[in-house]
């Protein structure tokens, strides 16, 4: 895991106190100001979707458009969206941070990888229904706007919590979902 991802998880833990997850109001962006261009807040909706509430400038640039109220899974390849939503739901239920290793589609930025952190937060009602997130590039090769993202791996939520775990297979040394 990248040191910036670990830093934000440590911050999340420090703000949690004795609760399952910190409240959104416990998070002060000044405390991780250098990460703000790659940070986001997303909210789980009753419909089962997860949408961006806020997104840092670097994320907006990478996707080439404003992201307020945009469905987060819509930025992932269609056949990975259900797996992502299942993992996000598990992260909310367990109130545990989820780190998704992502790769870009084949058309652009071949070999470009990033980590996407989803750290659960409680909203005003006290329900754990949103995420503090971070896009952390792991190497170069990004061409904005990004193609749809592909799940390479999941870390942080116990596999037994994920109802339909993503199964990975390899063909000629290349991981496929």
How does pLDDT run across 63-91, given as a tens digit for each residue? Answer: 999 999 999 999 999 999 999 999 999 99
- Say which CATH number the domain at 83 has: 3.30.450.20
pLDDT at residue 167 greater than cutoff 90: no
Domain that holds residue 69: 3-176
Express each pLDDT in 101-145 by its tens digit: 998 765 544 567 899 999 999 999 999 999 999 999 988 766 677
Report the run of H or E that residue 114 belongs to, with start and end. strand 113-122
Q: How many domains, in total, are found in the chain?
A: 1
What is the model's pLDDT at position 162? Answer: 45
Overall average pLDDT of the 6-33 stretch? 95
Convert the chain into a string of H (helix), E (strand) and C (coil).
CCHHHHHHHHHHHHHHCCCCCCEHHHCCHHHHHHHHHHEEEEEECCCCCEEEEEECHHHHHHHCCCCCCCEHHHHECHHHHHHHHHHHHHHHHHCCCEEEEEEECCCCCCCCEEEEEEEEEECCCCCEEEEEEEEEECCCCCCCCCCCEEEEEEECCCCCCCCCCCCCEEECCEEEC
Say how far apart CA 177 and CA 105 lie, in whole Å. 13
Per-residue pLDDT, 37: 96
The pLDDT of residue 164 is above 70: no
Q: Could you tell me which residues are beta bridge partners of residue 134? A: 39, 117
At residue 172, the pLDDT reads: 55
- Predicted local distance difference test score (pLDDT) of residue 161: 43
More confident residue, 168 or 23: 23
Average pLDDT of span 133-159: 81
pTM: 0.85
């Amino acid at each position: 895991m990248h040191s910036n991802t670990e830093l934000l998880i440590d911050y999340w833990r420090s703000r949690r106190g004795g609760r399952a997850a910190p409240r959104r109001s416990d998070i002060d962006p000044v405390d991780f100001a250098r990460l703000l261009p790659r940070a986001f807040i997303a909210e789980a909706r009753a419909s089962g979707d997860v949408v961006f509430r806020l997104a840092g400038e670097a994320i907006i640039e990478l996707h080439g458009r404003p992201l307020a109220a945009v469905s987060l899974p819509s930025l992932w390849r269609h056949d990975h969206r259900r797996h992502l939503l299942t993992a996000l739901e598990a992260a909310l239920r367990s109130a545990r941070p989820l780190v998704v290793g992502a790769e870009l589609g084949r058309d652009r930025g071949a070999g470009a990888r990033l980590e996407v952190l989803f750290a659960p937060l409680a909203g005003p009602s006290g329900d754990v229904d949103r995420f503090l997130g971070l896009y952390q590039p792991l190497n170069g090769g990004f061409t904005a706007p990004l193609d749809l993202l592909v799940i390479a791996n999941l870390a942080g939520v116990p596999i037994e919590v994920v109802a339909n775990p993503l199964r990975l297979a390899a063909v000629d040394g290349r991981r496929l979902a």
